[in-house]
A and B are shown apart, each in its own frame.
Chain A
Amino acid sequence: MTSDIAAILAIDGIATGAVYALVAIGTVLIFTVTRVIFIPFGDIAAFTALTLAALDAKRFPGTGALVVILACLATLIEIISLMRSGELRLLPRALSFYLLLPLAVVGAAWLVMRLDPPLAVRLVLALMLITPISPLLDRIVFRPIADGTVLLLLTVSVALHFALVGLGLLFFGPEGVRTEPLTSLSTEFAGVLISGQTMLIVIAALVFSGLLYLFFDFTLVGKSLRATAVNRTGSRLMGIRPARAGTIAYLLGSLMAGVSGILIAPVNTVFYDSGFLIGLKAFVGAIVGGMTSYPGAAIGAVGVGILESFASFESSALKDVIVFSLLIPILIWRSLASLHSEEEIEE
């Protein structure tokens, strides 16, 4: 391997890693706030790519129908749980949040789509359509078992992923998509050609991680999310509702996953089931950060991207084997480095 090829592979790896980093940061965010290892994150990224492709093709994406169905289900569950707890006075708020808001988003997207909007607007539409999915899934699937063990939540999360893959096939069909590049610019750095898309990916990852950092450090809501992650009982005693913190975490996490889906769509062909590998590789990155550290997760995810890039050069067929084999030494190292298991920390 010459240094030129190594440089190209490294740049490619950093770009892929940056996409994983966004998903990994979202994974850590949701895990620390809700203790759920949200496996379907990769699916959310893939669905965003599919949504954008449908919008590009002037078709209304299946995401709309998916959001409407999930919103109806979530509302039904919310009504039943309010009736059980005798708190029907909260019904208007529940209806506006779980039914009207998602329906308004889908309705607005449908109307705007008729106007044949430019790419920038289509990007916003895709993100708008995708962000309600995780908070709605949270309400339907995870809220009723929020006090369960991490293992139970993980098992349900894996099951949810498979359910989503099925729904993906139903709503988006089996065809793979590749969206048009967001930019056709390119530049040369130290003799290596770097495409605009690659730069965009890295910049977007940096910008969104930076925004998240500012959110956590400078806003009360951001701090309340960190507090929920650090000490659940303590935060409840401050009046911070874990369910609300969870919803915000899911909203932010899906936004990150959505952005990564948009960034990866012009580079890789995305199918309804492509999300699993994206999510799993981001998960490996998140594990490097011990599932609790954002910089750790980002560094881990970029590491996974670079490793994958070099691995696919050496042996394309074995690249996933190489990447996932990395998990074994990392897990050994992490279990030696920390004396407590996640369950013990929870207690």
Chain B
Amino acid sequence: MSEMLSMTDVTVCYDNVEAVRNVSLSVEEGQIVTVIGPNGAGKTTLLMAAIGLLASRGRMVFQGHDIGRMSVEDRVERRLCLVPEKRELFSDMTVADNLLLGSYSLRDRTGVQKTLDEVYDRFPRLKERQRQAAGTLSGGERQMLALGRALMAKPKLLMLDEPSLGLAPLIVREIFRTIASLRDLGVSILLVEQNARAALETADYGYVLETGEVVQSGPAKDLIHDPRLITAYLGGH
């Protein structure tokens, strides 16, 4: 397995406050890696730095290329994609247009229609609502659209920020099922979640982030049985 993304000693500052401090993590090809931790631990900040929306110090290598100083758009063109916590959909535009724009960064346009069909197969609800404005969708449908739009870019590494946030339990399960199935397509995933149990059940490897630093890491199946994590994040049983 080759390394998809590696971060070494990454530090991100907001107005002189270090929100993320000397974080090192790596995602292997075809792996689902999760970063769990409490609110305000710097999980979202870490993803924002990885996509280039926030400036960072340290080393960031994606598929062998140093991406630390690249623009967001250059990273997206290398097929590093982020589904942010706020989804950032184009609310006035139709579902179909949102999906089409997901493929904007692809130079080779021949496979776009096929990818679109695959996304509609995966999320039939989106196909039913393709003419509807994205702003009129329910929370679950919005998350599906955000995921589907990211898949349109044929990502090599997909970074997901709190995909289960604010969704009903039934839909959360569906979203995690989808995430697990993406691994079979060969998409690597970096998943940031507050829902630690669901995240660790889906992931191969996990990192625990607290006040901007990695305090623990290991295979997900070990972390899920770790007594300290069980009391802190996994509901104490």
Contact = CB atoms under 8 A, between A and B. Distances in A.
Interface of A: 85-86, 220, 223-224, 226-227, 230-231, 233-241
Nearest to A242: B73
A85 B70 CA distance: 10
27 contacts: A220-B104, A223-B93, A223-B97, A223-B101, A226-B90, A227-B93, A227-B97, A230-B90, A230-B92, A230-B93, A231-B88, A233-B84, A234-B90, A235-B90, A236-B72, A237-B51, A237-B72, A237-B76, A237-B82, A237-B88, A238-B101, A238-B149, A239-B73, A239-B76, A239-B105, A240-B101, A241-B73
B8 interface: no
A224 to B, nearest CB: 6
Contacts of A230: 90-93
A230 B92 CA distance: 7
Given A86-B69, A233-B53, A233-B84, A238 B102 contact: yes
Nearest to B104: A238
Interface in B49-75: 51, 53, 69, 71-73
Contacts of B104: 220, 224, 238-240
Given A230-B92, A230-B93, A233-B88, A239 B100 contact: no
B86 to A, nearest CB: 8
A234 B77 CA distance: 15
Q: Is the interface of A mostly helix, strand, loop or mixed?
A: helix
A213 to B, nearest CB: 14
Given A231-B89, A238-B149, A220 B84 contact: no
B153 interface: yes
B81 interface: yes
A224 B90 contact: no
Contacts of B72: 236-237, 239
Contacts of A236: 53, 72-73, 76
Contacts of A238: 76, 101-102, 104-105, 149, 153
A236 B153 CA distance: 13
Contacts of A224: 101, 104
Interface of B: 51, 53, 69, 71-73, 76-77, 81-82, 84, 88-93, 97, 100-102, 104-105, 149, 153
A237 B92 contact: no
A6 B153 CA distance: 57
B224 to A, nearest CB: 31
A11 B230 CA distance: 77
A237 B101 CA distance: 10
Smallest CB-CB A-B distances: 3 pairs: A239-B105, A234-B88, A239-B76
A226 B76 CA distance: 19
Contacts of B51: 237
Contacts of B153: 238-239
Candidate in B82, B84, B104, B153 with the most chain A CB atoms within 10 angstroms? B104
A85 B77 CA distance: 19
Contacts of A231: 88-91
Given A224-B104, A238-B149, 17 more contacts: A85-B69, A220-B101, A223-B97, A223-B100, A223-B101, A224-B101, A233-B84, A233-B88, A234-B90, A236-B72, A237-B51, A237-B81, A238-B105, A239-B73, A239-B77, A239-B105, A239-B153
A226 B133 CA distance: 13
Contacts of B149: 238
B84 A237 contact: yes
Nearest to B74: A239
A234 B84 CA distance: 9
Contacts of B53: 233, 236
A239 to B, nearest CB: 3
Nearest to B91: A230
Candidate in B53, B71, B102 with the most chain A CB atoms within 10 angstroms? B71
Nearest to A86: B69
A240 B77 CA distance: 10
